[in-house]
Amino acid sequence: MAIASNLGFPRMGAGRELKVALEAFWSGKTNEAALLETAKTLRRNHWQLQKSLGITQIPSGDFSFYDHVLDTISMVGAVPPRYREAGLADGLATYFAMARGAGGAIAMEMTKWFDTNYHYIVPEFAVDQTFRLASTQPVDAFLEAAALGIHTRPVLLGPVSFLLLGKMEGGASPLVLLDRLLPVYEAVLAKLSEAGADWIQIDEPMLALDLSSDARTAFATAYHRLGRLSERLRLLVATYFEGLHDNLPTAVSLPVAGLHIDLVRAPHQLDAVLEATPSHLSLSLGVVDGRNIWKSDLTRVDALIKKAVARLGADRLFIAPSCSLLHVPVDLDLETGLDAELRGWLSFAKQKLQEVAQLTQAVTTPDAFSENRQAIAGRAASQRIHVPAVAARTAAASPALLKRQHPYPERERAQAARLGLPLFPTTTIGSFPQTPDVRAARAEFKSGRQTQAQYDGFLRGQIEHAIRFQEEIGIDVLVHGEFERNDMVEYFGEQLAGFAFTKNGWVQSYGSRCVKPPIIFGDVSRPAPMTVAWSQFAQTLSPRPVKGMLTGPVTILKWSFVRDDQPLADTCNQIAFAIRDEVVDLEAAGIGIIQIDEPAIREGLPLRRAEWKGYLSWAVDAFRLSTSGVRDETQIHTHMCYAEFNDIIEAIGAMDADVISIETSRSQMALLSAFTGYQYPNAIGPGVYDIHSPNVPTRADMAMLLKKALAVLSPAQLWVNPDCGLKTRRWEEVKPALIEMVEAARAGRACLAKMPKACA
């Protein structure tokens, strides 16, 4: 009989218990013992839940206090020297310092986990890098579960993917370190074997990407060494997020006992995989979507499983989600506020494991899916999904809608005349701290304890405070602070047709940061203006320009649970038209600078290069559709964060935003390398203040970063801003940091005026 399996479970808890515990610990309100106890309780509850749902192979080691890549960095002792130099020893202090910065040591770089909205900590490797078994966390977790009577399948991030996810000083390939790293993995596997483990899940998501011949050789080298333990341990190599394609021969030739494939993202690969699977290899079929919240079509999935059973037999099969369930909320049962029809279309982590168990049992039980078939058919036939007027507008879009009136040089002159900004204009990305008072007022308003008038009055006070502060310290382009917004996507989704919302549908983004993605279930349109009134109010408070703040169509698409019944490009264009309507209304209301954030452009890039051109074409067009309805003198900004831009720099240029702001401070401006070979024509604000760290940067820190930026950019191009929005920070951190940022910009202007060659 096929085995019901899981690759990973959400860490935060259904009530975000880990988030609460982490933030209490970081603020000094609780101690380490309390944090560890919360984590232990969550692990126990999650293991017991999975067992009760009928999952046979339950993962352990998938829990993390911050990030599983950071866990691996700690496990193999790859802690960058600056943390030792700052006096930090092993343990949680060093672990959190790597993630958040501490003691003057800056945090490690963070970027997106493949094409998801989850962020991982980027490993840093040196030429003389050494590794050691510095943490036995995978073994400890296995023993902890065993003490509860639950036999688990430990999860490790594989050695080749771990190296390829990192960065090597000098730009060399981290794969040169493989021989030094493998003894640590051998030691971990030996300890797991001694502890009683039998199956070990080793995640190698890089096997689903375009690989060099050196990388394929590295996989062969690594697993021929690790496979020596195969008499005691059975290794399952897990791939996900894409098909194996040309890496299939490499994957099936590894001396391991099992291989996991993603049949949600790449169902077409099943025939080729079955044909290539050797007789000793078991297959784990990722047939339940681990990244979206729609109920599985169990009849369709069962057909894939039966094809595999016919070829391999049920005993060689695992039935599983496509990837870790880290990317979906915990439990649909908590969503009592959703209407019955929509709720019947959905499936969260708990329900997905019920689907896995049902599919496993259906291998021997005929016609087990009648209820599921009714739900799938009901969704397909629902009249709330399709709106003919929206579809007609999207279909009628013409190339003329994608172009501004004139090229950037002409727009630049018109904007300079209107705005009168100095060299190195300063601004922020949009949001200011969402204090406990702000969150409490929002909660009181939503619960009915505050009237609309009371809540609006509170928000006006917050906006005025933010405007006055920015004026006082001398910021050139102001923002209203976004105090009315719960989330940069959810806020807009709440005002757009075609969206639905959950109360407890939280998903981890990074560390303790959780988001509650909207659900795009139908055609999207804008019934009424969404931001105009607050932007217009803020602009009345100051003679300085105040930016209108919007989220772009690709980011709204990527950071939502998106409908799966039409092409992504179609849904994105519907959102783009809605944003275009808002942009035009903001301009008509007198807003001279409008920022449309697109941090998810790079995240949405397909994992296989052959598909990049098609994606970038519709993604760039959607941005241009949303922004091109304004006059030359209206300045369009966009913002992107935590991404490698080298691969898409020409597409970023094609977006034709007047100003782009990007995250660069954690990488010490290294991400600007993308702009050395490509002469970006418009203006750029490389972030000089890492807002994801509690560290307050000094004026000297930011001046140094600006000087690095001027090695790549011309002074006329350069804007000065933080890396990202400031909503997660405290005013006590934000105020001194922004004061220093403004002074660093002023110092740069003065230096250029006196010694242009020395400062540029």
List the beta bridge partners of residue 217.
none
Confidence check: pLDDT of 409 > 90: yes
Q: Which residue has the higher pLDDT, 579 or 228?
A: 579
Same domain, 328 and 398: no
Mean pLDDT over the full length of the chain: 93
Residue 581 lies in a domain: yes
Residue 174 lies in a domain: yes
Residue range 705-747, pLDDT digits in tens: 888 888 888 899 999 999 888 898 999 999 999 999 999 999 8
% of the chain surpassing 70 pLDDT: 96
Interstrand relation of 110-112 and 119-121 (parallel, antiparallel or unpaired): antiparallel
Same domain, 326 and 418: no
Confidence of residue 35 (pLDDT cuts 50, 70, 90): very high
Average pLDDT over residues 313-329: 97
Give the whole-angstrom CA distance, residue 475 versus residue 473.
Answer: 6
Find the CATH number of the domain harbouring 68.
3.20.20.210
Residues 255/257/258/259 CA torsion (nearest 10 deg): 0
Number of domains making up the chain: 2
* CA 343 to each of CA 523, 557, 650: distance values in angstroms, whole numbers, following the listed order: 18, 20, 42
Give the whole-angstrom CA distance, residue 567 versus residue 246.
Answer: 25
Average pLDDT over residues 481-492: 92
Confidence check: pLDDT of 304 > 90: yes
List the beta bridge partners of residue 720.
426
Residue 157 lies in a domain: yes
Same domain, 306 and 408: no
Q: Quote the pLDDT of residue 650.
A: 87
Average pLDDT over residues 376-400: 91
Residue 594 lies in a domain: yes
* CA 569 to each of CA 402, 564, 574, 614, 625: distance values in angstroms, whole numbers, following the listed order: 15, 11, 9, 10, 12
Q: Quote the pLDDT of residue 538.
A: 97
Confidence of residue 364 (pLDDT cuts 50, 70, 90): low
Same domain, 71 and 150: yes
* CA 657 to each of CA 77, 201, 441, 558, 669: distance values in angstroms, whole numbers, following the listed order: 43, 44, 35, 20, 21
Cβ atoms 582, 531 nearer than 8 A: yes
Residue 740 lies in a domain: yes
Q: Quote the pLDDT of residue 728.
A: 86
Q: Quote the pLDDT of residue 296.
A: 97
Confidence of residue 643 (pLDDT cuts 50, 70, 90): low
Q: Which residue has the higher pLDDT, 677 or 292?
A: 292
Task: Give the structural domain span for 540.
Answer: 388-433+475-759
Residue 21 lies in a domain: yes
Give the whole-angstrom CA distance, residue 409 versus residue 406.
Answer: 8
Residue range 427-486, pLDDT digits in tens: 999 999 999 999 999 999 999 999 999 999 999 999 999 999 999 999 999 999 999 998
Query: Which of 180-184, 266-270, 664-668 bottoms out in mean pLDDT, i.e. has the lowest?
Result: 664-668
Average pLDDT over residues 305-328: 97
Same domain, 309 and 412: no
Query: Which of 464-468, 635-639, 666-670 bottoms out in mean pLDDT, i.e. has the lowest?
Result: 666-670
Q: Quote the pLDDT of residue 167.
A: 95
Confidence of residue 162 (pLDDT cuts 50, 70, 90): very high
Q: Quote the pLDDT of residue 424.
A: 93
Same domain, 88 and 123: yes
**E strand map for 211-307:** 234-238, 258-262, 282-288
Same domain, 329 and 392: no
Same domain, 575 and 488: yes
Interstrand relation of 513-515 and 507-510 (parallel, antiparallel or unpaired): antiparallel
Q: Please, which residues have CB within 8 angstroms of residue 400's CB and are 6 or more apart in sequence?
A: none
Estimate the share of the chain in helix, then strand, then coil, as percent rounded to the nearest 5: 50, 15, 40
Same domain, 17 and 103: yes
Same domain, 227 and 353: yes
Same domain, 120 and 32: yes
Q: Would you call 113 exposed, middle or buried from its count of C-beta atoms within 10 A (0-12, 13-18, 19+)?
A: buried
Give the whole-angstrom CA distance, residue 643 versus residue 662.
Answer: 9
Average pLDDT over residues 635-648: 80
68 is known as an active-site residue: no
421: which 2 tokens? 């900004």
Residue 688 lies in a domain: yes
Residue 451 lies in a domain: no
Same domain, 172 and 217: yes
Tell whether pTM > 0.85.
yes
Which phi and psi (to 5°) does residue 548 adopt?
Answer: -80, 140
